[in-house]
Amino acid sequence: MPIHVVQQGECFSKIAARYGFGDYRVLYDHPDNAELKKKRANPNVLEPGDRIVIPDKGLKVEEGLATGKLHRFRLRRPKKELRLKLEGHDGKPLAGEAYVLDVGGEKHEGKTDGDGLLAQKVPVSETTGTLTIAGRVIHLRLGHLNPLDAADGGLSGAQGRLSNLGYNPGPADGVLGKRTRMALALFQHDEKLDVTGKLDDTTKKKLEEKHGS
C-alpha cells in the first residue's frame, strides 16, 4: 500500500479526499495507521513528515441503471468541520455574535453559541478563508497548525496557537526568538504561570486548553 508523507497544511480529511475517500476515518481508523492515530489524537492536527498508509480503494459498482439512457450523477464536494472558539480582547467569549465566513467562495452566515464557538462545514481542499465578526476581518489559514509534540519541541505549534490567541510571536518557524519569548512570557503572565519565556510542559498544556486543540 502506498505511503503519503504529510505536507504543511494537510489534515486527514484533506488527504482522504485526495485519494478518493469520502470519510477521513477510512485512513484514521485503518490498522496500519494505528501508531499515528495514537500519536495524533486530533486528526486535524498533523506534523509535516507524518506518514500515512493509504489502503486500496475498492471499485464501487452501481446497480440497477438502465443502459442506453443518460444518467446524471451529483459529485459531492467533501467537507470538514471548522471549529473556532472566539473571545474578545477582554478574554470573554464572543457569545451570540453574528459572523460571515468565506471559504473557497462559499459564504456562511450564522451566530456563535453561548461559549463563543463557531462550527461550520467547509470544503476539505481549502487552506485559507476570511471571517468577519464583531467589526473585524480575520484571515484564516486552515490546517496549518502543528502539534505541540512536533520534532521542534512543539515550538512551531505553540507559535501558531499564540498567534491565534493574539500574542504575535512572529512566524511559526520553530525558532525561539525574541518575539516568541515575549509572546510566551505575556501568555504565561495572563494565565498566572511562572513567567519564563520558555515553552515548558505546563505552558503547552495551558496553550492547548485555551486554544481548544
Q: How far is it, in rounded angstroms, from Cα 172 to Cα 24?
A: 26
Which residues, 6 or more positions from 125, have their beta carbon under 8 angstroms from its beta carbon? 14, 17, 78, 104
Predicted pLDDT of residue 130: 92
As beta bridge partners, residue 53 has 3
pLDDT of 34 reads: 96
Give the residue carrying C-alpha cell 471548522: 82
Can you tell me the distance from the alpha carbon of 37 to that of 51, in angstroms, rounded to the nearest whole number?
11
pLDDT on residue 186: 96
Round to whole Å and give the CA distance between 80 and 78. Answer: 7
Ranges of residues in the chain with a pLDDT under 50 are none
